[in-house]
A and B are shown apart, each in its own frame.
Chain A
């Protein structure tokens, strides 16, 4: 605590979209309560602090650091280590820091193919000289260094020790507030816990009518107008509810959108994608091998569907890196 009795708070973003920051601002008038109870020492997105301010702090100076964003570059990792050292409690805040989230889907590719698409192949790119980011560039004035871009997107706890996890893309404001209250009241659960979420699945919070599931065809979302009261999975729309932790209040199914899985795996589930695959495939209404293979074969991009938010935190972390393919890609450019 600071001399004024306030909680010393830090907020940081690594590889993220900024949605977690918006979610904090979405506390609305409660942000004033937060300001009354906490002194913010670092929050690059909203306030004018510099990294050197953090470097100048004694170790363990920040009481709680809410760290959002995945680890995509060496700079992200550097900040993760720095904030770990300066914070008593480090919280992986939001799906990216917790399990990799959408940026983590890049783990189906590697640095070279990501660069090739982003800087050379994308239809909107005009780069006739084929300039690619280099970690070190020689300029007349001297050497310029930019952070290294990793092959693999990592979660925060894959590079440093994490005390708590707040799931969600982004975390829901009422859940953020519950976490803030728990911190202020000293009511945090044991270290390593997931906080700001439920202990069941999204289906448990969903009000839709469920029947026995017998799926004969999977629909992509644009192919069907779903019934507003029946279970979306019953209707053949892949909904991640059965393999996703509760806590959001089943927001997406309420507005006729299937759950996409952003709250991560429920307690005791090791691999969200595998659990969802298992749940979805086992309710296919097929009594022969051929029919089953045909129906599940219609699911395009199983990894992207089942691991939309959790690929870096999954059992396999990423697709295999193959030296052969990478040298082939090099020859193309």
Chain B
């Protein structure tokens, strides 16, 4: 154990709210951990559960999904409705796969909530750090015979 564990976190965020918040956080020089890699999509309703599973399968230690506040903030009126219908089921699915619920966060951050974004990235990174690496593929292979 030469190097300290640095969690790798993938954040799927919508273009109109959470990405704007992240952008604002950066422009406003708010400190954020470098562990969170942002993937911008047009709407949180575009985030297929496949994206989340693939992130974990390819080595993410944690995943964030964030969009516009329901009911009224969505740029596409109700794209975020799809998000809140799917994500509770994704949570159940991840639990069955044995992935701790602390590794997955979904919620809402508006364009005006840069502080909330900076705070989330800090807290979530520390939460995942405490759990240690997920290492999905290597774990499976090492425990196979």
Q: Which residues of A contact B (CB under 8 A)?
A: 108, 148, 150-152, 270-271, 273-275, 277-278, 280-282, 284, 286-289, 292-293, 296-297, 299, 301-303, 306, 314-323
Contacts and interface: CB of A to CB of B under 8 A. Distances in A.
A156 B84 CA distance: 37
A299 B92 contact: yes
25 contacts: A148-B145, A151-B145, A152-B140, A270-B50, A271-B49, A274-B52, A275-B48, A275-B49, A278-B49, A281-B85, A282-B45, A282-B86, A292-B84, A292-B88, A296-B85, A297-B88, A299-B92, A303-B93, A315-B54, A315-B57, A316-B97, A320-B99, A320-B139, A321-B139, A322-B98
Contacts of A322: 98
A316 B89 contact: no
Contacts of A270: 50, 54
Given A108-B96, A277-B86, 10 more contacts: A273-B93, A277-B89, A278-B50, A292-B85, A299-B89, A306-B93, A315-B53, A316-B97, A320-B99, A320-B139
A99 to B, nearest CB: 15
Contact of B140 (A278, A280, A292, A318): A318
Nearest to B58: A315
B49 A277 contact: yes
Contacts of A280: 89
Contacts of A278: 48-50, 86
A303 B53 contact: no
Given A277-B89, A296-B88, A303-B93, A317 B50 contact: no
Contacts of A282: 45, 82, 85-86
B70 interface: yes
Contacts of A288: 70-71
Most chain A CB inside 10 Å of its own CB: which residue of B54, B84, B144, B145: B84
Contact of B89 (A151, A302, A318): A302
B118 interface: no
Nearest to B84: A289
A274 B53 CA distance: 8
Interface of B is mostly: helix
Interface residues of B, number: 31
Nearest to B88: A293
Nearest to A111: B145
7 closest Cβ pairs, A-B complex? A320-B98, A274-B49, A274-B50, A281-B86, A293-B88, A321-B143, A303-B96
B16 interface: no
B42 interface: no
B48 A274 contact: yes
A148 B56 CA distance: 29
A264 to B, nearest CB: 15
Interface in B80-122: 81-82, 84-86, 88-90, 92-93, 96-99
B96 A151 contact: no
Contacts of A281: 82, 85-86, 89
Contact of A287 (B71, B90, B93, B140): B71
Most chain A CB inside 10 Å of its own CB: which residue of B48, B81, B93, B139: B93
A151 to B, nearest CB: 6
A151 B143 contact: yes
Nearest to B78: A287
